[in-house]
Amino acid sequence: MQAAQAKKIVASPFLLFEDWMTVGVGLCGQVGIVIAKTFYYILRMQIDWQESLRQAYFIGVKSFLVVGITSLFTGLAMSLQIVMQLVQFGGESAIGGVVSLALIRQIGPITAAIIVAGRVGSSIAAELTTMNISEQIDALKVMRIDPVKFLVVPRFIGAMAMMPVLSIYSMAIGLLAGMIIAQVVADVSFGVFLDSVKSTIIDQDFYVHFLKSAINAAIVIFYSCAIGLNTRGGAEDVGHAVTRAVVWSMTVMFIVNYVVTDLTYEGPR
């Protein structure tokens, strides 16, 4: 009996990994189908612009407060650590450049994306799963309305329009926090801080910023919608869909974030 239990315990991690990989491969296929259909309708300009504007308001405007608060305290914590380390080595003049580079290339896009994944992605997964369980998705198909065209395309358009705005907003709040910390902790004036920013940041950094913002928006929308459209069952499955949408979106975002960072890294400046 004990041997059987030990065997089961040893095998469990492998079974969990196998199950995770199976779910992941299936989900990638579902996401691929949603992506193909979405761009098919976009290229044919079959877009509900009114619904897209409503989704942009929900995704962008209603996320401003939580993104602002999160970015403020993330910027304060990150800037405090950077300032304290640079002060020890007499690098006060480089504080602005280091803080701004981290915010533009990494912190700004990923902070906004995490908030959108947690707030918007979970909402989309719950809404579409509920529609699927209550057979509203089937009703759309009976009326010859593609759920991707009706539900996914407007959300994708709204996210692509608002995610770069949220990322820039997050970066600006973090930069303001960095200026305050530099002034209070290291007595670095705003002028010196901004001069360091100007001498460090190049156009390539902004291109990377917007590229990551667009990719993050696509990941959140496509994964959340694919999970919502393909989840059936009962009330318990709504919770599972929400969890899967947030976990998979964030996991893929961090992986892609590293890949983009590695491909666009230019070495020391």
**190-214: per-residue pLDDT in tens?**
888 888 888 888 888 899 999 999 9
252-260 mean pLDDT: 93
Average pLDDT value for the chain: 86
How far is the C-alpha of 99 from the C-alpha of 254, rounded, in Å? 20
pTM, 2 dp: 0.86
Residue range 167-177, pLDDT digits in tens:
999 999 999 99
Residue range 103-119, pLDDT digits in tens:
998 888 999 999 999 99
Inform me whether the pLDDT recorded for 6 exceeds 50. Answer: no
221-247 mean pLDDT: 88
- Identify the band that residue 250 occupies on the pLDDT scale cut at 50, 70 and 90: very high
Question: What pLDDT score does 22 carry?
Answer: 60
Question: What pLDDT score does 96 carry?
Answer: 87
Inform me whether the pLDDT recorded for 9 exceeds 60. Answer: no
Inform me whether the pLDDT recorded for 186 exceeds 90. Answer: no
24-28 mean pLDDT: 74
Closest C-alpha to 32, from 233, 225, 254: 225
163-167 mean pLDDT: 94
- Identify the band that residue 189 occupies on the pLDDT scale cut at 50, 70 and 90: confident
Inform me whether the pLDDT recorded for 19 exceeds 60. Answer: no
Residue range 50-76, pLDDT digits in tens:
999 999 999 999 999 999 999 999 999
**Residues of 40-79 as b/e, b for ≥16 C-beta within 10 angstroms?**
ebeeeeeebeebbeebbebbbeebeeebbebbbebbbebb
Q: How far is CA 192 from the centre of its chain?
A: 32
Inform me whether the pLDDT recorded for 231 exceeds 70. Answer: yes
87-91, 175-179, 215-219, 243-247: least confident range: 87-91
Tell me which residue has tokens 């009962």: 234
Question: What pLDDT score does 64 carry?
Answer: 92
Question: What pLDDT score does 16 carry?
Answer: 55
Question: What pLDDT score does 88 carry?
Answer: 81
Alpha helices in the chain (DSSP H): 2-43, 49-59, 64-88, 95-102, 108-116, 122-133, 136-142, 147, 153-186, 190-200, 203-229, 235-264
